[in-house]
Structure 1
Amino acid sequence: ESNHISEALAKYASDNQDVKIKLITDTQANLKKKLKNYELDLAIIDGSVTDTSFETRLLDTDRLVFVTDVSHPLAEKSSVTLDEIRKEKLILRLPGSGTANMFIAALEARDISIEAYNVILEVDNVATIKDLVMQKYGVSVLAESACLDEIMKNRLAALPIDQLQMRREINIIYTKNLQYMDFPDEIIRTYNDVR
């Protein structure tokens, strides 16, 4: 989801000519399955991992925020309430994604169902969600790191949601028998250089 992560992987591949990186986006469950089947060397996921068959390295921390186009009336506020979001058309990540799971869990912790919100579209691609929000089809709840470029270019506004603390870890996970054990640390160093 993060532009910095993609940039770090591109820089690492560019600096290490013998390395080929294939970048795919999928649900956590599918990424973990691909790791276990040796279809992937590592995965970058949001949230912690309890499965002891994986090694985990913290890459960064992030938070989920309310995202809207900059001309939306709520964009001028310092934060938004759950009641304000309830009145909006929501474009969310697909159920099963870390982002959707975290938002839904935060609502449920307050005894609120996602069904109380007007979710008009569920999308598997963050770039598509950002484009739709910028075109004023709705608002979203996304990782702040995934929106930094658009925020800096004043194309999207990102606001904290009152009563919800949605901080999360971004972790590199890999199997215990990863062939290149230095690879996760090298990715972390490159990531820290580019952000």
Structure 2
Amino acid sequence: LYKYAKEILSLYATAEKAIGELTGFVKGGICIGASSTIGNYLLPGVIADFKKTHSKINICLLVGNTKRIVELLNSGNIDLGLVEGEVTRQKMQVDKLITDELLLVVPAHHPWARKKEVSISELTKEPFILREGGSGTRQMIEKFLCSYGVSIQDLKISMLLGSTEAIKAAVENGLGVSIISRWSARKEIKYGTLCLLRIKGQKMARELSLITNKGAISSHAVDEFLTYVKSYPFEKLLC
């Protein structure tokens, strides 16, 4: 029965696409899963632009950490995912979208606010606010520190928080420093409440990726969004 159900869904998706191509009219729904940085700071702008030309497509956006988004995709609860950090390619198609840079964030009144960079040794002496396990950002921080022979245990962890918004608020209130994506502090940098700087050495860069299930049957609406997001000029969101 499962085999026949898949064939029926495949025929339906094919027919839907053919009708859309003939009429130029695309409608339907898309369920997108996105890790925190992408879901909170990048996708709202992308979706707003997409809806200008695809007003009949309804979009559901679920935000969680990278581990959770991978689980949702594997269980078939979302059509596609956008994540930061490394993911296994066994069951998924992984397409790199853009490169993100993680930077040290401090409050505007902090002594480091006037610096362009600090050393790893300086960082280990300052109260540090860390993301929860399963977060793509935390995964990247651990990998970066390890390359310098430093572990999470070497940091003075003051708080463990589950979102970038919570981390930014804690940093603004002087509870410690942290490391976040450059995309996530645009408003705070604009209004002068937070400052970003680098850690001496190599850049802390990571890929933001689009993930889909290999061999999955996708609707015309999903295909339209996939094509759109793969060519989207993300850098304009930093302006």
Same-fold call, TM cutoff 0.5: yes
Provide the C-alpha distance between the structure 1 equivalents of 2:66 and 2:217, rounded to a whole number of angstroms: 19
Provide the C-alpha distance between the structure 1 equivalents of 2:52 and 2:180, rounded to a whole number of angstroms: 29
Query: Are the aligned partners of 1:43 and 1:173 in contact in 2 as well (CA < 8 Å)?
Result: yes
Provide the C-alpha distance between the structure 1 equivalents of 2:121 and 2:235, rounded to a whole number of angstroms: 40
Provide the C-alpha distance between the structure 1 equivalents of 2:74 and 2:233, rounded to a whole number of angstroms: 25
Report the counterpart of residue 132 of structure 1 in structure 2: 170
Cα 1:110–1:178 shift into 2, 3 Å: farther
Report the counterpart of residue 88 of structure 1 in structure 2: 126
Q: Which has the larger radius of gyration?
A: 2
Q: Superposed, which structure 2 residues align to 1:134-149 within 5 Å? A: 134-149=172-187
Query: Are the aligned partners of 1:11 and 1:190 in contact in 2 as well (CA < 8 Å)?
Result: no
Structure 1 stretches of at least 4 aligned residues deviating more than 3 Å after TM superposition:
188-194
Q: Which runs of 5+ in 1 are unaligned?
A: none
Report the counterpart of residue 149 of structure 2 in structure 1: 111
Please give the secondary structure, in 2, of the residue aligned with 1:112: coil
- Offset from partner CA, 1:67-98 (integer Å, 9 cap, x none): 01111100101101112211211111112211
Flag the structure with more relative contact order, 1 or 2, with Cα contacts below 8 A and sequence separation at least 6: 1
Cα 1:168–1:59 shift into 2, 3 Å: same
Report the counterpart of residue 184 of structure 1 in structure 2: 226
Which of 81, 93, 98 lines up with 2:136 in the alignment?
98
- Partner amino acid, structure 2, of 1:182: E
Q: Superposed, which structure 2 residues align to 1:43-58 within 5 Å? A: 43-58=81-96
Q: Which runs of 5+ in 2 are unaligned?
A: 1-36
- Partner amino acid, structure 2, of 1:128: A
Shift of 1:188: 3.5
Shift of 1:124: 1.4
- Partner amino acid, structure 2, of 1:77: K
Cα 1:37–1:159 shift into 2, 3 Å: same
* Seq. identity, %: 26
Provide the C-alpha distance between the structure 1 equivalents of 2:201 and 2:191, rounded to a whole number of angstroms: 28
Query: Are the aligned partners of 2:117 and 2:198 in contact in 1 as well (CA < 8 Å)?
Result: yes
Matched, 1:33 2:75: no
**Alpha-carbon RMSD:** 2.0
Report the counterpart of residue 62 of structure 2 in structure 1: 24
TM-score (normalizing by structure 1): 0.89
Cα 1:8–1:178 shift into 2, 3 Å: farther
Shift of 1:42: 1.1
Please give the secondary structure, in 1, of the residue aligned with 2:83: strand
Bigger share in helix: 2
